[in-house]
C-alpha cells in the first residue's frame, strides 16, 4: 500500500490520491486511514493569506520540507484531525498561492501541486497538496519563521524531516547528525564544508592571517549590488586562495547565501620537494554546471545534453531563484571562453568570487589586487608559520628581526613559507635574510612556481617593460621605461595597466619627478633578470637607450637639451619646465615641438588649467585650429579656481572661441561661458559686450538689453558706438519704442568724446 501512494505522489496523481484515501457519496476516509503517517498529514483548514497567519504558514512550510526531505508526501486539508471527519477547507487557494506563501522558507527548488477537490455548494472543499520527494540532497529552511512561544519556530538552515506521523525540526548539531546518518557525505580533504547546499574548499592555511584592508574590500564587494564577481588577482603564492576561502567560509557562517559551490582549477602545487601536479576539479563550464546542479539538488538538469539549454535551465531554475555564491579558484588555468562568458552574465541574486593571476572577468566585476603582506601581517604570518613548522627559535625572534626576515622575502606568503621551511636555525635564517636582501636570490622552484606561467603568457611588449624595470632596479617614470623598451609612451601606459592586473608592477608617486613611477618587487625582479640573461646583448642595448634618453640626445638646441636633462633626472618641476620648452619652441616658429612639449607637460599634470589654457591659445592663434582649442578651454574651465580673475579670464576666452566656432547653437553655448566670466568681473566691458552680442544673435533680446544697457554710460565712445546697434535691435523686438528712439538719437548725434 505505501508503494502505491508513493507512486501517486511521484506522478502528482491527484485523482489517484483522492481515491486512495476516500470513499465518495458522501466523502468518507477509508478504513485503515484514520491516522496520520510518514507519507500524509491531515489539516482542518488552509491558513488565510493575511499577515496574521504567518505562523500557520511557517508550520505548513515545515511539513512540506519534512515530506520533501524524507520520501515526499501529501497534505490533506479539510479533515478534522480529532475525529478525521470532512469539514471542508474554506479559504480559496491554488498552486500559485500555496507556493507563494511557503517560498520564503522553501525557495523554488521544487513546487507543491495544490488542488481543490469535492467542492461543496457552500464552496467548502477538500484540499490536496502533493509534495515530491527530494531529487538529490535534503533541503534546509531558507528563511526565518515567526517567533512562537518565545522561540523561532523555523530558522534558516533548519532541517525538517518526517518521523512517523510527525514533523521534526532539526537544528545545529542535530541536523548535522541526521545528514551524516543518512549517508550525505561529510567534509572531506578537498572540502572543509560539504553538506547539502554547501561545498567550500578546504583552505591551505592552518591559521588565517587577517589582512584588514583586503578582507574589508572583499567583504564589501560580496555585499555590493553593483558587483556580481569579486576577482582576486596577483602572482602565485601571494595569498589569493587563502583570502577567497576566508571570505567564502565567512559567508557560510553568516548564512549570507542559500547555496555555495566551490571548484578549483589548480593543476600544481609547490611542496618541499618541488612543484607537483594536481588533479583539478574544474576544467570547463560543463564542470561548473554539473557541480551547481549536484550541490543544489537539481541533478536532473546536469543530464541535459544541449549545453546552451543546460545553461538556460541552470540559470532560470537555480541561479535566478536562489542567492548563491560560486567560488572558482585558479581561473587562469581554464582554457574555456564559455566559462568566462558565463561568469560575466550571472543572473541575480547569484554572486561569484574568483582567483586568478590576471583579471579575466571584466563585466560587473570588482578587481581586488592581492599584493604582499604589510609588515605587521608578515610578522604575524612568520610567527605562526614558524610555530607550525616547529621552528620555535625563529618564532621567538624580536619583532625587529622578524621584520628583517619578512622584508627579505618581499613579505610574500609563499616566499616566507619557503624560507622558514629551509631555515635550520634563527642565526642561519638571519644570515640568509641578509643575502636575500643584498643579492635577491630565491629558490629556482619558487621563482618558476610564482612567475613562469604568468610570464610565459605575457606578450613581447610587456616582457620588454619588465626587463627594463628589472635591469635598473629602481623606480622609473613611464617615459624612461618607454625609452628603454623602445616603445611609444602611450603604448607603455596601456601595457603597464595590464601588468598591474597581474600585480607584477608596483606604482608610487615620485615627489621629485612629480608623477607616478613604476618598479618591481625584488622577487619579481630576480626572476625577470634571469630571463634578460638569456638574450645576449639585450642588457647593454637597454642601458644605451636609457643613457641616450637621460642625456636628451634627440634635442638639438643646447639650452633646451639642458632643460630636458634636468626634467628627466628629476631636478626641475617637469610640468613647468616642459611648458617653458613649449613656449620657447612656439616663439621660434617650431610649432610641432611646441605642441609635443605642451602635451608632455599635460601628461605630468592633466589638471593644470594653466597649461590647458596655454595649449588652447596655441591652437587658437598659432595653429588656427578651433576644435582642439575648444577642448582644452573646456579642460581649463573644469580645473580653474572656482572664483577670481583667473576664472573670469578662462571663461571669457572660452566664450569668445565658442562664439566664432560655427557650431550649432554657438552663441548660446558662448553665452553660458561669458555669463560665468561676467559674474566674476562685472566691470569687464569687453566681456559684457560679447555676452550681449551673443544674446542678440541667439534671439534672447530681454537678457541682451539687460546686459548691454550699462554700456550706454561707458566712458569709451567706441564701446558705446558698438553697443548702440545691438540695443536698438533688442528694443525693436521688445517693442520698447521710447528706448529705441533714444538710442537712434544717440546714434545720430554721436558721442563727441574721446575714448577713455
CA angle, residues 401, 407, 410, in degrees to nearest 5: 155
In this prediction, residue 445 carries a pLDDT of: 61
Name the grid cell of 28: 468518507
CA distance 144 to 159: 12
pLDDT for the residue 571 = 57
Return d(Cα 21, Cα 39) in angstroms, integer. Answer: 12
**Mean pLDDT over residues 440-469, rounded?**
74
Q: Is the pLDDT confidence value at 186 over 50? A: no
Q: Are residues 6 and 148 in the same domain?
A: yes
Residue 583 lies in a domain: no
Residues 408 and 475 in one domain: no
Question: Which of 104, 139, 171 is where one domain is finished?
Answer: 171
Q: Which of 163, 200, 201, 194 is nearest to 179 (CA)?
A: 194
Looking at residues 309-315, what average pLDDT do you find?
91
pLDDT for residue 443 is more than 60:
no
Q: Are residues 145 and 211 in the same domain?
A: no
Task: Output b/e per residue, 628-648; b: 16+ Cβ within 10 A.
Answer: ebbebbebbbebbeeeeeebb
Q: Strand, helix or coil at 270? A: strand
- The range of the structural domain enclosing residue 57 comes to 2-171
Range name among 4-18, 312-326, 380-394, 663-677 with the lowest pLDDT average:
380-394
Residue 609, exposed/middle/buried by CB under 10 A (0-12, 13-18, 19+)?
buried
Q: Please provide residue 107's backbone torsions phi and psi, each rounded to the nearest 5 degrees.
A: 80, -160
At 80, list the grid cell.
Answer: 478534522
417 inside domain: yes
pLDDT at 557: 77
Contact 155, 140 (CB under 8 A): no
Sequence-distant (6+) residues with CB within 8 A of 109 are 139, 296, 297, 298, 318, 321, 322
Packing angle, helices 307-314 and 285-296, rounded to 10: 40
Out of 137, 171, 205, pick the residue that ends a domain: 171
Instruction: Identify which of 176-180, 473-477, 548-552, 693-697 has the greatest average pLDDT.
Output: 693-697
pLDDT bin (cut points 50, 70, 90) of residue 272 is very low
Question: And the C-alpha cell for 496?
Answer: 603597464
Give the separation between CA 38 and CA 480, rounded to whole angstroms. Answer: 79
Residues 42 and 77 reside in one and the same domain: yes
The residue among 207 and 219 whose pLDDT is bigger is 219
The label of the residue with cell 507556493 reads: 99
Say which residue, 247 or 439, is predicted with more confidence.
247
Q: Is residue 569 part of a domain?
A: no
Closest CA to 246 of 191, 296, 208, 190: 208
List Cα–Cα distances, 404 to 380, 429, 520, 685, in angstroms.
13, 10, 19, 69
Rounded Cα–Cα distance for residues 621 and 626 (Å): 9
353 and 226 together in one domain: yes
Region 292-310 average pLDDT: 88
Are residues 405 and 484 located together in one domain of the fold? no
- Please count the structural domains in the chain: 5
Q: Which residue has the higher pLDDT, 51 or 611?
A: 611
Q: If you count them, how many residues does the chain have?
A: 756
Beta-carbon neighbour count of residue 486 at 10 Å? 12
CA distance 397 to 400: 8
Is 89 contained in some domain? yes
Residue after which a domain boundary falls, among 499, 521, 550: 550
Give, in order, the Cα–Cα distances in Å from 699 to each of 100, 254, 658: 62, 65, 17
**Is 509 found in the same domain as 426?**
no
Q: Is the pLDDT higher at 273 or at 588?
A: 588
pLDDT digits (tens, 9 = 90+) for 90-116: 998 888 889 888 988 887 667 788 999
Question: What distance in Å separates the CA atoms of residue 58 and residue 305, rounded to the nearest whole number?
Answer: 38
Cα 194 to Cα 187, 243, 675, distances in angstroms: 4, 19, 68
- In this structure, which long-range contacts are made by residues 312-318, counting pairs with CB atoms below 8 Å and at least 24 apart in sequence? 314/289, 315/347, 316/347, 317/108, 318/109, 318/259, 318/292, 318/293
According to DSSP, residue 172 is labeled T
Same domain, 133 and 265: no
Q: Is the separation of the CB atoms in 436 and 409 below 8 Å?
A: yes
**C-alpha cell of 396?**
621567538
Residues 78 and 19 in one domain: yes
In a domain, 621, yes or no: no
**pLDDT 10s digits, 591-627:** 988 888 888 888 777 888 989 999 999 998 898 899 9
Cell numbers describing residue 740: 529705441
On the question of pLDDT at 189 being above 70, the answer is no
Mean pLDDT highest for which of 213-222, 507-516, 549-558, 569-578? 213-222
Q: Report d(CA 611, CA 20) in Å as an integer.
A: 90
Burial 23-51 (b: 16+ CB within 10 A, else e): eeeebebeeebeebebbbbbbebbbeeee
Percent composition of the chain: helix, strand, coil (DSSP 3-state, to 5):
55, 15, 35
Same-domain status, 385 and 365? no
Residue 559 lies in a domain: no
What is the pairing mode between strands 73-77 and 126-131?
antiparallel
Longest dimension (CA), the chain: 125
| Chain centre distance of CA 466 | 27
Average pLDDT over residues 314-323: 90
Residue with the three cell numbers 623602445:
486
In a domain, 207, yes or no: yes
The pTM assigned to this predicted structure is 0.48
Band of residue 514 on the pLDDT scale cut at 50, 70, 90: low
> If you ran DSSP here, which 8-state letter would residue 203 be given?
P
For residues 287 and 145, state if they share a domain. Answer: no
Looking at the domain assignment, is residue 628 inside a domain?
no
Short-list 251, 207, 559, CA closest to 386: 207
Which CATH number belongs to the domain containing residue 365 in this structure?
3.40.50.300
Instruction: Identify the CATH number of the domain in which residue 81 sits.
Output: 3.30.950.30
Contacts of residue 138, defined as CB under 8 A and 6 or more positions apart, other chains included, come to: 69, 159, 161, 179, 182, 184, 196, 297
**Helix or strand holding residue 421 (H, E):** helix 413-422
Contacts of 431 (CB under 8 A, 6+ apart): none
Q: What is the pLDDT of residues 140-166, one digit of tens each?
A: 888 888 888 888 889 888 889 999 899
Same domain, 239 and 106: no
Q: Looking at 22-36, 309-323, 510-524, which range is the least confident one? A: 510-524
**198-201 β-sheet, strand order:** 191-195, 198-201, 259-264, 324-329, 351-356, 229-233, 365-369
Checking if the pLDDT of 390 tops 80, the result is no
d(CA 628, CA 199): 58
Average pLDDT over residues 521-543: 80
Amino acid at each position: 500500500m505505501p508503494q502505491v501512494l508513493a507512486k501517486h505522489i511521484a506522478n502528482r496523481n491527484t485523482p489517484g490520491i483522492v481515491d486512495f484515501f476516500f470513499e465518495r457519496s458522501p466523502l468518507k476516509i477509508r478504513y485503515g486511514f484514520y491516522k496520520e503517517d510518514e507519507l500524509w498529514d491531515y489539516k482542518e483548514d488552509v491558513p488565510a493569506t493575511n499577515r496574521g497567519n504567518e505562523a500557520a504558514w511557517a508550520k505548513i512550510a515545515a511539513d512540506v520540507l519534512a515530506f520533501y526531505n524524507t520520501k515526499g508526501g501529501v497534505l490533506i486539508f479539510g479533515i478534522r484531525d480529532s475525529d478525521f471527519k470532512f469539514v471542508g477547507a474554506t479559504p480559496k487557494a491554488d498552486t500559485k498561492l500555496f507556493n507563494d506563501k511557503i517560498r520564503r522558507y522553501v525557495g523554488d527548488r521544487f513546487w507543491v501541486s495544490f488542488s481543490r477537490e469535492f467542492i461543496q455548494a457552500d464552496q467548502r472543499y477538500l484540499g490536496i497538496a502533493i509534495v515530491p520527494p527530494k531529487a538529490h540532497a535534503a533541503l534546509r529552511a531558507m528563511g526565518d519563521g515567526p517567533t512562537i512561544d518565545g522561540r523561532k519556530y523555523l530558522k534558516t538552515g533548519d532541517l525538517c524531516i518526517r518521523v512517523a506521523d510527525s514533523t521534526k525540526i532539526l537544528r545545529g548539531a542535530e541536523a548535522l547528525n541526521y545528514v551524516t546518518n543518512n549517508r550525505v557525505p561529510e567534509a572531506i580533504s578537498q572540502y572543509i564544508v560539504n553538506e547539502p547546499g554547501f561545498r567550500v574548499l578546504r583552505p591551505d592555511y592552518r591559521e588565517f592571517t587577517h589582512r584588514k584592508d583586503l578582507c574589508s574590500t572583499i567583504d564589501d564587494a560580496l555585499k555590493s549590488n553593483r558587483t556580481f564577481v569579486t576577482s582576486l588577482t596577483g602572482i602565485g603564492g601571494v595569498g589569493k586562495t587563502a583570502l577567497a576561502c576566508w571570505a567564502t567560509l565567512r559567508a557560510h557562517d553568516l548564512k549570507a547565501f542559500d547555496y555555495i559551490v566551490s571548484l578549483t582549477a589548480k593543476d600544481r602545487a609547490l611542496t618541499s620537494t618541488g612543484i607537483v601536479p594536481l588533479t583539478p576539479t574544474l576544467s570547463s563550464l560543463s564542470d561548473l554546471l554539473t557541480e551547481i546542479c549536484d550541490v543544489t539538488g537539481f541533478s536532473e538538469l546536469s543530464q541535459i545534453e544541449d549545453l546552451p539549454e543546460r545553461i538556460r535551465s541552470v540559470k532560470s531554475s537555480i541561479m535566478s531563484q536562489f542567492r548563491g555564491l560560486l567560488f572558482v579558484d585558479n581561473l587562469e588555468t581554464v582554457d574555456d571562453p564559455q566559462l568566462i562568458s558565463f561568469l560575466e552574465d550571472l543572473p541575480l541574486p547569484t554572486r561569484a568570487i574568483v582567483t586568478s593571476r590576471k583579471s579575466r572577468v571584466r563585466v560587473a566585476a570588482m578587481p581586488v589586487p592581492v599584493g604582499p603582506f604589510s609588515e605587521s601581517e608578515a610578522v604575524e604570518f612568520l610567527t605562526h608559520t614558524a610555530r607550525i613548522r616547529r621552528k620555535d627559535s625563529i618564532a621567538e625572534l624580536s619583532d625587529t628581526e622578524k621584520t628583517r626576515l619578512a622584508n627579505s622575502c618581499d613579505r610574500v606568503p609563499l616566499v616566507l613559507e619557503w624560507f622558514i621551511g629551509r631555515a635550520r636555525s634563527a642565526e642561519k635564517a638571519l644570515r640568509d635574510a641578509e643575502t636575500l636582501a643584498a643579492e635577491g636570490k630565491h629558490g629556482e622552484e619558487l621563482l618558476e612556481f610564482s612567475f613562469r606561467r604568468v610570464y610565459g603568457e605575457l606578450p613581447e611588449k610587456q616582457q620588454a617593460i619588465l626587463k627594463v624595470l628589472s635591469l635598473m632596479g629602481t623606480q622609473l617614470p613611464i617615459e624612461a621605461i618607454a625609452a628603454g623598451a623602445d616603445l611609444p609612451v602611450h603604448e607603455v601606459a596601456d601595457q603597464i595597466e595590464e601588468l598591474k592586473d597581474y600585480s607584477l608592477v608596483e606604482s608610487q608617486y615620485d615627489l621629485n619627478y612629480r608623477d607616478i613611477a613604476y618598479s618591481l618587487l625584488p622577487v619579481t625582479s630576480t626572476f625577470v633578470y634571469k630571463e634578460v640573461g638569456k638574450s645576449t646583448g639585450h642588457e647593454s642595448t637597454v642601458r644605451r637607450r636609457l643613457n641616450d634618453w637621460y642625456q636628451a640626445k634627440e634635442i638639438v638646441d643646447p639650452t633646451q637639451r639642458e632643460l630636458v636633462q634636468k626634467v628627466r633626472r628629476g631636478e626641475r618641476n617637469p610640468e613647468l619646465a616642459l611648458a617653458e620648452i613649449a613656449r620657447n619652441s612656439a616663439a621660434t616658429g617650431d610649432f610641432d615641438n611646441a605642441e609635443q612639449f605642451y602635451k608632455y607637460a599635460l601628461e605630468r599634470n592633466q589638471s593644470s588649467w594653466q597649461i590647458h589654457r596655454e595649449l588652447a591659445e596655441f591652437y587658437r592663434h598659432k595653429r588656427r585650429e578651433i576644435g582642439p582649442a575648444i577642448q582644452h578651454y573646456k579642460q581649463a574651465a573644469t580645473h580653474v579656481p572656482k572664483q577670481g580673475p583667473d576664472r573670469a579670464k578662462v571663461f571669457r576666452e572660452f566664450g569668445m572661441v565658442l562664439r566664432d566656432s560655427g557650431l550649432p547653437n554657438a552663441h548660446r553655448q558662448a553665452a553660458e561661458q561669458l555669463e560665468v566670466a561676467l559674474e566674476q568681473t562685472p566691470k569687464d566691458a569687453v566681456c559684457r559686450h560679447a555676452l550681449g552680442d551673443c544674446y542678440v544673435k541667439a534671439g534672447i533680446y530681454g537678457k541682451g538689453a539687460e546686459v548691454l544697457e550699462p554700456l550706454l554710460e561707458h566712458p569709451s565712445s567706441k564701446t558705446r558706438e558698438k553697443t548702440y546697434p545691438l540695443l536698438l535691435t533688442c528694443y525693436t523686438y521688445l517693442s520698447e519704442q521710447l528706448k529705441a528712439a533714444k538710442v537712434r538719437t544717440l546714434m545720430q548725434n554721436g558721442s563727441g568724446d574721446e575714448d577713455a
